[in-house]
Amino acid sequence: DTGVSQDPRHKITKRGQNVTFRCDPISEHNRLYWYRQTLGQGPEFLTYFQNEAQLEKSRLLSDRFSAERPKGSFSTLEIQRTEQGDSAMYLCASREKDEAFFGQGTRLTVV
């Protein structure tokens, strides 16, 4: 296992379309996080899973956003009816003890 993997790396979509991103964490890590990073800003927390349970969601996660982690393995983040303001880098991270490991992110551009 070489680390946290995210797919796709880049996604361009038209406003109003739905998009889904996938994150494969480090296999023995039971904690998984999604963050959003816009240009010139630090990552902002979106949601957190411990195994398959979604334990915390940010106010940033509107009802157009949904995340799942079936069977406590990979996770998906879906954005419905995308808006231009959704354009950002979406980062996934996984953690077992003290250190969080990040994926390379999915860059979403909504046109």
Q: How far apart are CA 58 and CA 34, in angstroms?
A: 10
Judged by CB under 8 A, the stretch of 12-20, 64-72, 78-86, 102-110 that binds another protein is: 102-110
Q: Do 37 and 44 touch, CB atoms closer than 8 A?
A: yes
Phi, psi for 104 (deg, rounded to 5): -80, -10
25 binds another protein (CB under 8 A): no
Give the one residue of 21, 36, 103, 108 binding another protein; rule: CB under 8 A.
103
Instruction: Select from 82, 102, 109, 108 the least CA-distant residue to 34.
Output: 102
Site residues for another protein, 40-69, by CB under 8 A, read 40-45, 48, 50, 55-56, 58
Binding residue for another protein (CB under 8 A) from 67, 86, 105, 110?
Answer: 105
Q: How far apart are CA 58 and CA 52, in angstroms?
A: 17
When the beta carbons of 8 and 16 are compared against another protein, the nearer one is 8
Task: Output the smallest distance, CB 27 to another protein, in A.
Answer: 17
Q: How far apart are the first and last CA of the chain?
A: 35
Binding residues for another protein (CB under 8 A): 3-4, 31, 33, 35, 40-45, 48, 50, 55-56, 58, 91, 93, 95, 98-105
